[in-house]
Chains A and B, each alone.
Chain A
């Protein structure tokens, strides 16, 4: 219960931070990405402020054996740079630049009465579903391949990676 209250309040503080920082205004986000136009560095200042606070507190918090309301920390462990990371970030950036919305600000804008925010959220969730669907098909194919190899070699098939780190 306490953990859920923290989640709710953190979500609220995150949203208010985005709003005060100007990130719920697509024109300001696009203004940051418009290096050849009248550049608006506000987004960089939001990131610098957030990173300045979190990079210090992250190190302090990680010195604890565990979080306060949960038995363990859930942190990403991967360190490899692969094509999926770069390709995914590239696609993400194009969508971000076209609309000036990314997941946090657009969810914060969901009840603002802006139809574009609603359209974007529906499409974003559809995009996430599409990814999930492709991933399921891909893993199923890999599983089938593994099984046939295993039966031929009578060796244990290498486990298929089921997930990569989630942010």
Chain B
């Protein structure tokens, strides 16, 4: 537990909760990042702009973070480009097939006490933990 950052992570989580609540209060939208991005792949006139501006906001927020604390983007694990590509493919495909990701199911869905989201979150934490177990404890930590 030597890397545990409880205070910073609590503040970060509160900001995420405020962001998701603002999207619901003002725009009536659920803040599910994979759904927001996937919606951009099938553009419709009424729907594309708010999705694009949300993603632009995410990237802009990343730019601010980069300027304030570049160490916040440390990868910290050994992975090849191919490993990142394979993982990205699984995350993109899996998020669509499973109707959501960590934000949509893990934050918004659990907050609404959606049984689908609770099942999805338990499932992806379980398979994520299994993948990490294999990489870290059977394959020596790198990919």
- List A residues at the B interface (Cβ < 8 Å): 2-28, 30-31, 33-43, 45-55, 57-58, 61, 64, 66-76, 78-81, 84-104, 106-117, 119-132, 164-167
Contacts and interface: CB of A to CB of B under 8 A. Distances in A.
Interface in B34-53: 34-35, 37-39, 41-42, 49-51, 53
B115 to A, nearest CB: 6
B96 to A, nearest CB: 4
Nearest to B37: A103
Given A68-B25, A70-B27, A120-B85, 12 more contacts: A18-B16, A21-B16, A37-B136, A42-B5, A46-B10, A47-B110, A49-B11, A53-B14, A58-B111, A89-B121, A89-B123, A91-B127
A127 B39 CA distance: 14
B15 A17 contact: yes
A49 B7 CA distance: 10
A34 B136 contact: yes
Contacts, number: 524
12 contacts: A12-B64, A16-B65, A53-B13, A53-B18, A57-B25, A67-B26, A89-B98, A89-B121, A93-B127, A98-B90, A109-B73, A130-B89
Q: 4 closest Cβ contacts across the A-B interface?
A: A11-B57, A167-B104, A49-B13, A21-B12
Contacts of A121: 88
Contacts of B95: 88, 92, 103, 124, 127-128
A11 B58 contact: yes
B94 A67 contact: no
Interface residues of B, number: 119
B40 to A, nearest CB: 9
A54 B24 CA distance: 10
A34 B76 CA distance: 14
A94 B50 contact: no
A51 B35 contact: no
Contacts of B57: 7-15
Interface string B105-129: 1111111111111011101111111
